[in-house]
Chains A and B, each alone.
Chain A
Amino acid sequence: MNALFLAFAHLRWTWARSLLLVVVGALILSVPLVTQVLLRGSEEALTRRAEVTPLVLGARGSQLDLVMSAVYFSQDRAQPVTRAAEDAVWDSGLALPIPLHTAFQTNGARIVGTSLDYFDFRGLQVAEGRQMALLGEAVLGAQVADRLGLGPGDTVVSSPENLFDLDGVYPLELKITGVLAATGTPDDEAVFTDVKTTWIIAGIGHGHDDVVTPDDAGNVTANAAITQFQRITPENIDSFHFHGAASDYPLSAVLVAPYDTRSGTILRGRYLDPENPLQMTVPAEVVAGLVDRIFRIAALLDAVTLVIGIAALGAIGLSLFLAWSLRAPEIETARRLGAGRFMILRLAFAEIALLLILSAGLATGLVTVVTMNGDSLVAWILAL
């Protein structure tokens, strides 16, 4: 007890050094565990979501970017396709196409323009408020609602794609009508709206004041100062309209839910031609390859962590040795007062033991926090 008392008193006196050693020790202990927890969580989350997403139709290019963008709403941006791709699936009669337009963000969350079929497809339930029904309405994922402290009746504003593009898309105010129940998937981190609303954000559709004003003689003149609406209200919703051919409107990807296995196989066959600008991917296959690569990299990461850990432990050991050297006068005094080698060793071990216990406690806390919030962290990581 005396050794522990003195060790604790010394650690408290040199609290800054002790804190640093405890934090470094905790990181050495916890980083490999946290990495494992997050990797396993990511693998499970990636695989689980990929396996319930039969097919994704998108522009030919990186299959990984397409799957990550369409299934996990990540920052990876695949080339857009047109609505014609969705129409082609409809016309085939082999599968249900679900459009996805994920080009925009609000408050750090991905705006997902889609159809109501998406909610049935993913089994998403509205926990608070109601489902979106009109242009300009949105429902929030559980995490987004919690993080932003928003609920039905509140609004969010879409972010511009590029801060320096003054001529770019206008921000659009979205009215929140509901909050989805938490699912522990990337859906919790998204803001859902109708795909047409995202086309309005993109500037393809818009609403504005009348551009013509009849004069007394009945002539009409275009108004030079057209005011575009940044929010969709019952009063102005009828003024919203779209320009161009609907089949040319952009989509980030199309989720494809074949009606049966045979239909899925037939559909996949239609997009095998490398000359076809579209590709049909199987998310489970793409994710399996990604997970395999991640775990190969993780093995390398483990080796690096081990080397860094050994180096850090060496640095901690050197720090303790130097600190102990500085305590030579105290040790000499202790010896004069009757302390033996065993007592001196107990002093040293008590200090190391306390540091280890505190480090282990902090590491346990870190790992527990990460484990308890694993789903959210994994969803956040996947959204990066």
Chain B
Amino acid sequence: MIAARDLSFAYPGGGFALKVPALDVAPSERVGVIGPSGTGKTTLLNLVAGMVRADAGALTVAGSDLATLDDAARRRFRATHVGFIFQNFALVDYLNAYENILYPYRVGLGLRLDAQVRDRARALAEACGIAHRLKSHPAALSGGEQQRVAICRALVTRPKLILADEATGNLDPETKEAILDLLFDRASDMQATVLAVTHDHDLLPRFDRVIDFATLRQPA
């Protein structure tokens, strides 16, 4: 699913730089990424998602060579192949839970909102246990409910890759277990790969594999 070789990236203006000699993630694999803050874990997710382009090296995700894609193609790739889950949930405050789940179809390039998508959104909400909260706005939802909505939003496009950046960082221990179970179950249903950055070492046994970023990257 992900194959990276001699990947390097530096933010304009210097300072932080990331080098990844090799990274391979298999389809449907659930990979946890750990490491100290500031080592570039989120930058790696951004590279894999096509948010930023690598300065050098090869990066293939879901069969697409990201180095060769222009901006529009990378946006289309991101909209159709990648699902994002954030630590702060990143829900849109003025939309209710149902419309938040459909949000990728409102803004994503190449996605078309139709009756099938709406049915899928409702089915996901049912599976995630928030069907009764679909008319509620984020401010009226608990942290766990908000993250369930975020998971539905990440899965509604049926992505091949789910990127989670500290997805359970803002949740209590019981909720984070439930959320991770939910994420893995739904990802398994869709045969999606999960690449999840986490600081929570208690959750590591749940992953198929854990990459320690301190050993993965090379200092610039």
Which residues from chain B contact A6 at a C-beta distance below 8 Å? 95, 106-107
Which one of B49, B86, B106, B110 contacts A2 once the chains associate, using CB atoms below 8 Å?
B106
Shortest distance from the beta carbon of B96 to any chain A beta carbon, whole Å = 9
- Contact call A337/B95, Cβ cutoff below 8 A: no
Query: Taking each of A2, A334, A336, which has the highest tally of chain B beta carbons within 10 Å of its own beta carbon?
Result: A336
Known A9-B94, A336-B90; further 4 A-B contacts with Cβ < 8 A: A6-B95, A13-B93, A336-B84, A338-B79
CA distance A334 to B113 in the complex (A): 16
- Contact call A9/B95, Cβ cutoff below 8 A: yes
Which residues from chain A contact B110 at a C-beta distance below 8 Å? 338
A13 and B78 in contact, given A336-B51, A337-B84, A337-B104 (Cβ under 8 angstroms): no
CA distance A334 to B100 in the complex (A): 11
Which one of A335, A337, A340 contacts B103 once the chains associate, using CB atoms below 8 Å?
A337
In the complex, whether B145 has a CB less than 8 A from a CB of chain A is no
Which residues from chain B contact A2 at a C-beta distance below 8 Å? 105-107, 113
Mask: chain A, 1-17; 1 = CB below 8 Å from B; 0 = not: 01001100110111000
Task: Give the residue name and chain of the A residue nearest to B46 (CB).
Answer: A336
- Contact call A338/B108, Cβ cutoff below 8 A: yes
- Contact call B107/A339, Cβ cutoff below 8 A: yes
In the complex, whether B111 has a CB less than 8 A from a CB of chain A is yes
A336 and B92 in contact, given A2-B106, A9-B99 (Cβ under 8 angstroms): no
CA distance A333 to B93 in the complex (A): 12
CA distance A171 to B95 in the complex (A): 63
Which residues from chain B contact A337 at a C-beta distance below 8 Å? 78-79, 84, 103-104, 107-108
Q: How many residues of chain A have a CB within 8 Å of chain B?
A: 21
- Contact call B107/A343, Cβ cutoff below 8 A: yes
A343 and B109 in contact, given A337-B104, A338-B79 (Cβ under 8 angstroms): yes
CA distance A238 to B131 in the complex (A): 87
Task: Give the residue name and chain of the B residue nearest to A344 (CB).
Answer: B107
Can you list 22 A-B contacts (CB < 8 A)?
A5-B106, A6-B106, A6-B107, A9-B95, A9-B99, A14-B94, A329-B88, A329-B90, A330-B90, A330-B92, A334-B107, A336-B49, A336-B90, A337-B79, A337-B84, A338-B107, A338-B108, A339-B109, A340-B71, A340-B109, A343-B107, A347-B107
Which residues from chain A contact B94 at a C-beta distance below 8 Å? 9-10, 12-14
In the complex, whether B186 has a CB less than 8 A from a CB of chain A is no
CA distance A130 to B80 in the complex (A): 82
Which residues from chain A contact B93 at a C-beta distance below 8 Å? 13, 330
Task: Give the residue name and chain of the B residue nearest to A11 (CB).
Answer: B94
CA distance A309 to B51 in the complex (A): 42
In the complex, whether B115 has a CB less than 8 A from a CB of chain A is no
In the complex, whether B72 has a CB less than 8 A from a CB of chain A is yes
- Contact call B92/A339, Cβ cutoff below 8 A: no
Task: Give the residue name and chain of the A residue nearest to B80 (CB).
Answer: A338
In the complex, whether B199 has a CB less than 8 A from a CB of chain A is no
CA distance A335 to B108 in the complex (A): 8
Task: Give the residue name and chain of the A residue nearest to B112 (CB).
Answer: A2
Which one of A5, A9, A332, A338 contacts B104 once the chains associate, using CB atoms below 8 Å?
A338
Shortest distance from the beta carbon of A186 to any chain B beta carbon, whole Å = 52
Which one of A10, A14, A333, A338 contacts B75 once the chains associate, using CB atoms below 8 Å?
A338
Query: Taking each of B51, B104, B107, B111, which has the highest tally of chain A beta carbons within 10 Å of its own beta carbon?
Result: B107
Task: Give the residue name and chain of the A residue nearest to B108 (CB).
Answer: A338
A340 and B75 in contact, given A2-B113, A9-B99, A335-B51 (Cβ under 8 angstroms): yes
CA distance A334 to B103 in the complex (A): 8
Which residues from chain B contact A333 at a C-beta distance below 8 Å? 84, 86, 90, 92, 103
- Contact call B106/A338, Cβ cutoff below 8 A: no
Which residues from chain B contact A12 at a C-beta distance below 8 Å? 94
Task: Give the residue name and chain of the A residue nearest to B93 (CB).
Answer: A13
Which residues from chain A contact B79 at a C-beta distance below 8 Å? 337-338
- Contact call B51/A340, Cβ cutoff below 8 A: no
Query: Taking each of B51, B92, B105, B111, which has the highest tally of chain A beta carbons within 10 Å of its own beta carbon?
Result: B92
Task: Give the residue name and chain of the B residue nearest to A10 (CB).
Answer: B94
Which residues from chain A contact B75 at a C-beta distance below 8 Å? 338-340
CA distance A332 to B49 in the complex (A): 14
- Contact call A336/B106, Cβ cutoff below 8 A: no
Per the 8 Å Cβ criterion, residues 172-195 of A in contact with B are none
Shortest distance from the beta carbon of B133 to any chain A beta carbon, whole Å = 17
In the complex, whether B5 has a CB less than 8 A from a CB of chain A is no
